[in-house]
Structure 1
Amino acid sequence: MRKPETIERLYLDFDGFFASVEQQCDRRLRGRPVGVVPFAGTTRTAVIACSREAKAFGVKNVMPIEEAKRLCPDLVLVPQRPDLYRRAHNALLSEIETVIPIDTAKSIDELTCRLDEAGRADPHGLTAAIKATIAENVGPWITCSIGFAANRQLAKIACKEGKRSGGRYGDGLAIWRPEDMPAPLLEVAMEDIPGVGGNMAKRLYRSSIYTTEQLYNLQPKHMRKLWGNVTGERLWYALHGYDIQAPASSRGMFGHGRVLPPEARTLAGAREISRLLLIKAARRLRRENFYAGGLWLWLSIRAGSWMGKRHLPVVNDDQAILSGLAELWDQVRRDHPRGITIFRIGVTLYDLSPSHERQLDLLLNDDSTRRRWESTSNAIDNLNTRYAGTVVSLGPWRPPAGGHVGGKISYTRIPSAEDFW
């Protein structure tokens, strides 16, 4: 395994991305503390994202609105516009590509690049060029923090540390050269290392490991044992500066979730929104040429949560998938005959198989029926694609307050234009 002798990776993270895009597009918001919320007129949900000015008051992403308002009474609440953020993402990547090729867009607000010889020799100049290009061609209110290191994992950690450097938030830079390591890494809180989540941190505490230095001084096999798989050993090599690459991930599911507006928190209201979300998930399933063998429905309710699963006969058409959803809602009604208040819903299609590997259910002779419904679903998809909107759907198409059915803010997936039809 190769251990680079110089910096080879750049990691870029846009600062308060969703809020800064709003500030760039609306001059009335510039310089003011901004919180992006799911929909207008609500005070009972959470701030999805916040601006640099709001963070200075202690406001954080995914913080209840009431708490955020207590910390920052002048916080301006702005309803989310996910399609605007998607378009901003595309514009920003196009501008950055004029300076340096992008290796991977890790999320809608993070990306990584491999450095060429010039970038390794002058990271300060490369950083200045990227930031100047963004400011001149997209706008000065969208800023970014950048980290340089020998590998992507260390560059990401450096980027996060640079974002918080100098007693301010954002527009940061951190360069972690191999000859300077591990000193800057050891100053990072162990819980801030990607791969050390809350549950993993508790496991490390039980093993008397409390600091990054203690974690760094472990042996690779010990890390593997603590994590229970090769991920721990891979993290050890990444922290020690090796050119370790994460294995390619494969698609495991298609799903959507949504916080419900107050008027839709009944069984009937939540069921209707779940139907729209599932149609969107099924469209994505077909676009990427998969079939699903299972459906999962999750509800956040006052007493905790409700979860249910249904087997599907390896399908991708709307009729079969919505039939499975109807069965799950019948179960919800049986479990809660007096009704419940539902705050959030999620639908997921899982047990995927590529279209060319489809295995029919031997106990269900409905292939001819499925083929007809598949043709119907494909015809609907083609019409919607032609007009770039939902002009035809199986059942009524009435998006809830705030819209964004299946096209909400996503930190882990970069939405496509089709998500907003």
Structure 2
Amino acid sequence: MKLAARLIGGALAAAVMAAPAFAADPIKIALVHGTSGASFDVYSKQSETGFEMGLEYATKGTMEVNGHKIELIHKDTQFKPDVARAVLAEAYGDDDALIAVGGTSSGVTKGMLPIAKEYKRILLVEPAVADSLTGPDSNRYVFKTSRNSSMDMQAQALALKPGKDLHVATLAQDYAFGRDGIKAFKAALKGTGATVVDEEYAPIKTTDFTAAAERMFNALKDKPGRKVILIYWAGGGDPLGKIAAMDPGRYGIKLSTGGNILPALAAYKAVPGMEGATYYYYEDAKNPINDWLVKEHEKRFGTPPDFFTAGGMAAALAVVKAIETAKTLDTEGLIKAMEGMSWETPKGKMTFRKEDHQALQSMYAFKIKVDPNVKWAIPELTRVITPDEMNIPIGRHDQ
């Protein structure tokens, strides 16, 4: 939908869009991700593959729920906030999508939140991470199946066993994902006695980490006790491998980071024994849904399911559960069904928190194992970190 048309007809469109679907109507779901324009596009493709496989699993291959055929609409945000807003409005308005799922970049997705409110339609956030996506600038039409920065960082803090002897320097990308993540990490350390001695932020496309690494080395090298550089990074650049190559061990400094997609885990072979926490690794979750996903993904694609494949499937399973249980198949009916809803996923049970619509879920602490017969480093499970171990802040309080 063009901008002029949106400005003229927004209120009328919102009223029409909120109308319930009739028995024979298809349910249109828009997948609104960046599939061109950035290295993050691999996350989008995994997410959309997982979503399609999740629909297949949940509907036993019929692609039909309660007599309604599911129709998928694909939209490319190009990783540009203005394009993302335009294609989401187009999905709700011109395409009549009941639900949209996306996006990939946290910064881009944040710009999509007001469009969901304008059209009074559900936006299910997957796989973007930042806490702010369910924060004060969010709204009641936004739900989030992806984990958030607080989950990443509380799990990471638990994996590091923080105490007075722990000193940390951090490296993150200079946008919503990175800054929300480090803010959450510092909050997770509060009261433990651990100290963050340096924070480094770099542009998303940074490939040379020499200057930032030297500043972190200088901040840590003379500290007593345990010294750790925490890296919170998405996409390319390989900061973990490049900083490991600079030999932080000569200062007694260890590296730590969260999990990642399988190709990126190849760089983790440089840090055997490294401890951290992850959202998903296909060998960690033990349940029938994950068993099916692993078997089918390997059969179809020749590889195990990856980080964001599991997230996409979790989102699809949430959508099907909501449609199956909603008393009315419109926005208000879906909101009532989804608030407080629990459902099973490849990671086990997730629950949409009523207050801010963030899905609470388990995380996985790991220790890196290197097997020469495996292309990537293995984040070997040390323990499951359950939702009740994490105190995830409520982001949005209005109803």
TM tier, shorter chain?
Answer: under 0.3
How does the TM-score come out when normalised to structure 2? 0.25
Higher relative contact order (CA 8 A, sep 6+): 2
Normalising by structure 1, we get a TM-score of 0.24
